[in-house]
Every structure is written in structure tokens, then in C-alpha cells.
Amino acid sequence: MAKPQITREDVVEAEDRLFSAQLISDVEILDQLLDDDLVAVAPTGEILTKEMDLNSHRAKTMVIEDASTEINDIKIMGDTALSIVTMTAKGKVMGTPLAGKFRYFRVWKRLDGSLKLLEQVLCSYHKINTTYRSAIDSR
């Protein structure tokens, strides 16, 4: 019987599998984790599909040399979850060096018994002295 609900542990496991697959461009694992109708938004605002993501790993256009992740939050709503993850990474995109902190907002859903990544938004993350929340709270 398929598990209808998602647990925090399910999401952590899926995030770990995704991160490990991204590091070594394991297209087979990425294909299992990414939903066929994936919608991803890059920091440039470009909308990416599953096939585009897999092709970039196949072609090695993005090479991660060093990286770490931290799961900042997980919100669960039945068979769907939102994960917020910070990645610190160093590597190359099409031969151009890239390094920094990036924040992912991901939507996971249990489909056919396994977790699939449906949507993802990636943005550059720069910590500044005054956070948005502290600016709002001070009003």
C-alpha cells in the first residue's frame, strides 16, 4: 500500500538523494526524482524543464567542485511538501567560475508511491546586515 502522507524524514531523504545526484551529475537518479512536468526557475528568471536540467548534467555544463547544503525549513501538507534549502557551492557553469550561496524553494509531492520534485525556484542568497523580517518587525 502506498504511503499517502509525506514525513519530514521523507523530504530530508529526497533532498539528500537530490544533492548527491547533482554533485556527480547522476542523470539516472535525477530522472527518478524530477517529475516529468518539472518547472524550475533559475536565478536569471529563465524557466527550465526536467529535460533541460537532465541535459545540462549529461553535457556537464554545470560542474560542482565543492558544495554543502542546509535544510532551512520543511512544510508538509498531506502528500505535498515545501522545502527551503541553502546551498553553498563552488564550481563552473559552461567553464565560467561560480561560487556563492543559493536558496532553493522546492515543492515535493508523493506520486505513485515516491517523492517527486514538481517545482523549484533558485535564487542567489546574500546575507545583509538588516534582514527583511527585522525591517518589518521594527515598524
136 pLDDT above the threshold of 80: no
35 pLDDT above the threshold of 50: yes
Dihedrals φ, ψ of 5, to 5°? -95, 160
- Is 2 inside a domain boundary? no
Strand 34-41, strand 114-124: pairing? parallel
pLDDT band with cut points at 50, 70 and 90 for residue 104: very high
- Is 3 inside a domain boundary? no
Domain count, the chain: 1
SS3 content of the chain, % helix, strand, coil (to 5): 30, 50, 25
- Is 61 inside a domain boundary? yes
1 pLDDT above the threshold of 90: no
Q: List the beta strands (DSSP E) in the chain.
A: 34-41, 47-48, 62-77, 80-93, 96-111, 114-124
Percent of the chain with pLDDT over 90: 68
The string of pLDDT tens digits covering residues 106-131 is 999 999 889 999 999 998 876 544 45
- Is 112 inside a domain boundary? yes
83 pLDDT above the threshold of 60: yes
